[in-house]
């Protein structure tokens, strides 16, 4: 017999006790669900991180080990500014390299047929890759020098060059027709071609800006021509210049010749032009008109090539200030 008789529970205590029992049963379902949800989030994050790492590794391998040049990897490089090389601390855009390579290769295949497979075809592709990488390095260095020298290329200048190319040869092409030519022959759309024009114009401007010797030679040519009655050939001989040429006959005034025919049409017979920049930006021209009709010209010309920029590039390679991130010739440290 118990010494202490248990006091009967009140109705309120019974209700509270029942309430705790119900809550305890609920916790058995609630907390395992929270734990599962928490674990699911962690697993999802881990899977996402692993997938991201695998994508980065795969992308790196496609770019730097296998050197994929296909459409997909090209579009990726246009979105992500990954480098293909470095010149004096400036990163060379992989997309510029691929743009140049793909365009040059397509042009070659349009003219000579598909390369196909085999060692000879692979050797030709390697040659085009090396040339494209060298050009991309040049353009990047030109942009770097342009920033230092205050040289810039405006959108208006690119627009003007685009229009000039659209009308090259005196043919009035529609923009749609011109873009089809770019797509079919160079594999480029409008934005890519404008990028190519920008790079070319920047390099030409910088090459002109740094080439003091070419400016001095041009001044000497102008002085000699003024003194000898416009004899360009004599000026070339006196200065030891090798860029003297004559058409020897009438040629079309829209001839693709660096802009010489266009300038010649503005002259009178026997007149010599002032120096002007060649249309591809690789030097100065002087032109003397011999004869012309309404649509043809006969002229002599003297070209002064820009060489300083090329010398600066050669010095960069000699000083190991150019580093390639892809191996095109068995040496990953050089282009």
Given a cut of 60, whether residue 161 has pLDDT beyond it is yes
Which percentage of the chain shows pLDDT scores above 70? 86
Return the higher-pLDDT residue of 54 and 160.
Answer: 160
pLDDT of 34 reads 58
Who's near 305: CB < 8 A, 6+ residues apart? 214, 243, 282, 283
- Residue 122 CB: number of other CB atoms within 10 A? 11
Cβ-based neighbours of 204, under 8 Å, separated by 6 or more: 277, 280, 281, 282
pLDDT at position 62 is 85
3-state secondary structure 140-165: HHHHHHHHHHCCCCCHHHHHHHHHHH
pLDDT tens for 24-61 read: 665 555 555 555 666 778 878 888 888 778 777 877 88
Residue 169, pLDDT > 70, answer no
Comparison of pLDDT for 91 and 31, the residue scoring more: 91
Residues comprising the chain, all counted: 335
Mean local confidence (pLDDT), 265-279: 95
Q: What is the pLDDT of residue 207?
A: 96
Question: What's the confidence (pLDDT) of residue 25?
Answer: 61
Query: Residues 43-57, buried b or exposed e (16+ Cβ, 10 A)?
Result: eeeeeeeeeeeeeee
CB-based contact 295:252 (threshold 8 Å): yes
Residue 324 has a pLDDT of 96
Average pLDDT, the chain: 88
Residues 325/83, Cβ–Cβ less than 8 Å: yes
Weakest mean pLDDT among 56-65, 275-284, 320-329: 56-65
């Amino acid at each position: 017999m118990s010494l202490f008789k248990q006091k009967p529970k009140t109705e309120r205590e019974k209700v509270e006790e029942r309430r705790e029992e119900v809550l305890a049963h609920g916790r058995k379902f609630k907390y395992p669900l929270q734990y599962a949800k928490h674990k699911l989030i962690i697993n999802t994050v881990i899977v996402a991180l692993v997938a991201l790492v695998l994508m980065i590794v795969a992308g790196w391998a496609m770019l730097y080990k296998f050197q994929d040049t296909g459409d997909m990897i090209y579009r990726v490089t246009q979105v992500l500014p990954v480098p293909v090389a470095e010149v004096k601390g400036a990163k060379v855009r992989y997309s510029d390299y691929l743009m140049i390579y793909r365009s040059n290769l397509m042009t070659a295949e349009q003219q000579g047929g598909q390369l196909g497979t085999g060692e000879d075809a692979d050797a030709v592709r390697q040659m085009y890759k090396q040339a494209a990488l060298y050009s991309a390095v040049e353009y990047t260095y030109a942009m770097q020098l342009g920033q230092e020298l205050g040289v810039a290329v405006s959108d208006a200048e690119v627009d003007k060059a685009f229009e000039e190319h659209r009308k090259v040869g005196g043919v009035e092409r529609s923009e749609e027709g011109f873009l089809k030519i770019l797509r079919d022959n160079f594999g480029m759309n409008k934005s890519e071609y404008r990028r190519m024009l920008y790079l070319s114009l920047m390099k030409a401007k910088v090459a002109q800006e740094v080439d003091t010797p070419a400016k001095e030679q041009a001044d000497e040519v102008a002085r000699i021509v003024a003194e000898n009655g416009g004899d360009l050939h004599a000026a070339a001989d006196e200065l030891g210049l090798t860029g003297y040429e004559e058409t020897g006959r009438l040629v079309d005034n829209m001839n693709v010749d660096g802009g010489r025919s266009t300038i010649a049409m503005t002259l009178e017979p026997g007149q010599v032009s002032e120096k002007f920049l060649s249309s591809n930006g690789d030097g100065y021209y002087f032109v003397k008109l011999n004869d012309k009709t309404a649509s043809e010209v006969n002229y002599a010309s003297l070209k002064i090539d820009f060489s300083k920029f090329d010398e600066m590039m050669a010095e960069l390679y000699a000083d190991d200030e150019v580093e390639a991130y892809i191996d095109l010739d068995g040496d990953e440290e050089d282009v």
